[in-house]
Amino acid sequence: AENGVNGSAEKKKVIILGGDGFCGWPTSLYLSDQGHDVVIVDNLSRRKIDLDLGCDSLTPISSPETRVQAWKEVSGKEIKFHNIDVAKEYDLLVQLIKDEKPDSIVHFAEQRAAPYSQKNAKTKRYTVDNNVGGSNNLCCAIIDADVDAHIVHLGTMGVYGYGTSGGEIPEGYIDVTLPGGREANILHPAHPGSVYHATKCMDAILWQFYQKNDQLRITDLHQGIVWGTNTPQTVLDERLINRFDYDGDYGTVLNRFLMQGAMGVPLTVYGTGGQTRGFIHVTDTAKCIELAINNPPATGDRVEIFNQIAETCRVRDVAELVAKLTGVEAKCIPNPRQEAAENELDVSNRKFCSLGLDPVTLDAEDGLFSEVTAIVTKYKSRCDPKMILPASFWNKARAEECADLD
Ligand code: NAD
Ligand code: USQ
């Protein structure tokens, strides 16, 4: 396709909000490598949360200044970095957008861990203020700066909910018959499973409103769980290495299992492991963002929604793959989360595939699985075993049931 993977001649000016994070950093490098002009904005809140929680990325990540300097040495390309809080430093955000006049703004800058969002009242309130405030600021800033920048927002598969839908989940919108018999195509009902996921549902309403009221051009990407760590760009220099979260709050399930396998500790399957989720490798995250940037909706079009997943898989099957690979057993432990014990998940990802995406899948025979294992093995001395068990509980009942975990 003309605007498919590696297929576009048009080079864009792109601001990446949250460009220091797990998805944002490799995406920034990929877009820069593809010839786009990249500007990163990040307030380093993720690094500060690590300090508060007493944990750290398994991989030793460099400062943003060192990262962009290393990229310049390796690629000859410049990425600018600005430390701005998108939720709190509105005037700086407007000024940056006025100065840079971006074609696209990719919005990764949110508190993204469901367990962290469920920890206590402080983290619940922070997650809502930061995420919803940031998204609203972004819309206001584009209007105030008087630019026609296309917003590409990272949403989540979790907006659809798990176990609530029968049949295939379409990309964002469903056909319904309204009372009175009128047919309509509306946003899929929101069924969040955490305060974090709820912020993505609230974001979706904001996008819908600002598109209708101010004709903003917006794409919302409902992404599944991201796995992996390095990409062809981050391996070019040790200083470009991507972050790898393994702790109970920020580590995502497959990366946690691979880490636990390398450490030789039992894989922490929550409940029965019957939860089915969508997965995507971090290299494909970056490719999907470029596809979204290259295929913006026209002015006046409703919010474009893509499901950004490669495949779906049950947690116990993911554990079995890792157990086979590492020889470490999976262990079912009480679930710290309030979620359906077993669910089916059938999701359309046709839009990205029709644009040329050929996603990597979870396959123990595939080189990528062993690449992640090699990374976690290399850095396992940096792992703090105390951070492995879950440390956030969805409600009092879940906390009581998990009281004896060790
Ligand atoms: P991350 O926490 O590693 O990165 C987010 C970055 O945004 C961090 O560097 C953080 O410092 C920054 N940030 C947060 N609030 C900010 C603010 N107010 N101002 C400026 N910067 C701010 O998370 P990630 O895994 O890279 O996820 C990025 C996005 O993708 C999130 O919106 C997340 O919801 C979405 N997503 C992630 C996954 C996943 O598995 N990691 C899956 C689906 C969707
Ligand atoms: N799980 C385990 N054992 C673990 C960790 C998790 O069994 O050690 C289970 C959880 O109970 C859950 C599933 O694995 O059922 C996924 O958990 P996760 O932590 O990997 O993913 P989640 O909390 O859903 O959040 C992650 C990202 C979030 C993104 C979301 C996409 O952190 O930013 O939005 O994936 S999705 O899941 O599709 O909504």
Q: Tell me, using a 6 A CB cutoff, whether residue 269 lines ligand 2.
A: yes
For 16, the 3-state DSSP assignment is strand
Whether residue 406 lies inside any domain: the answer is no
pLDDT tens digit string along 249-293? 999 999 999 999 999 999 999 999 999 999 999 999 999 999 999
Domain count, the chain: 1
pLDDT at 240 over 50: yes
Whether 156 is a known active-site residue: answer yes
Residue from 182, 192, 183, 186 nearest 170 by CA? 186
Count of CB atoms situated within 10 Å of the CB of 403: 8
Q: Is residue 2 part of a domain?
A: no
Closest CA to 336 of 271, 387, 385, 386: 271
Distance separating alpha carbons of residues 227 and 368, to the nearest angstrom: 10
> What is the C-alpha to C-alpha distance for residues 325 and 261, in angstroms, rounded to an integer?
8
Kindly identify the ligand whose nearest atom is closest to the C-alpha of 280: 1
Q: What is the CATH number of the domain that holds 203?
A: 3.40.50.720
Whether residue 266 lies inside any domain: the answer is yes
For 285-304, b where at least 16 C-beta lie within 10 A, e where not — what string?
bbbbbbbbbbbbbeeeeebb
What is the number of the ligand 1 atom nearest to the C-alpha of 109?
A: 7
> Is 7 among the domain residues?
no
CA 109 – CA 77 distance, rounded (Å): 23
pLDDT category of residue 164 using cuts at 50, 70 and 90: low
Does residue 109 lie within any of the structural domains? Answer: yes
Say if CB 327 and CB 264 are below 8 A apart: no
Give the pLDDT score at 370. Answer: 83
**Do the domain assignments include residue 6?**
no
* Ligand 2 midpoint to CA 278 (Å): 9
- pLDDT, residue 1, reads 42
The whole-angstrom separation of Cα 86 and Cα 118 is: 22
For 23, the 3-state DSSP assignment is coil
Q: Could you report the per-residue pLDDT of 10-39, keeping only the tens digit for each?
A: 899 999 999 999 999 999 999 999 999 999
Question: To the nearest 5 percent, what fractions of the chain are helix, strand and coil?
Answer: 40, 15, 40
Would you state the torsion angle of the CA atoms of residues 57, 58, 64, 70, taken in this order, to the nearest 10 degrees?
-170
Q: Is residue 118 part of a domain?
A: yes
State which residues form the domain around 366: 13-400
What pLDDT does 404 receive?
A: 86
278 lines ligand 2 (CB under 6 A): yes
Residue 36: inside a domain: yes
What per-residue confidence (pLDDT) applies to 392? 98
Pocket lining: 252 vs ligand 2, CB cutoff 6 Å: yes
How many beta carbons lie within 10 A of that of residue 101, not counting itself? 13
Identify whether 219 is a catalytic site residue: no
pLDDT at 231: 96
Task: Give pLDDT, residue 344.
Answer: 92
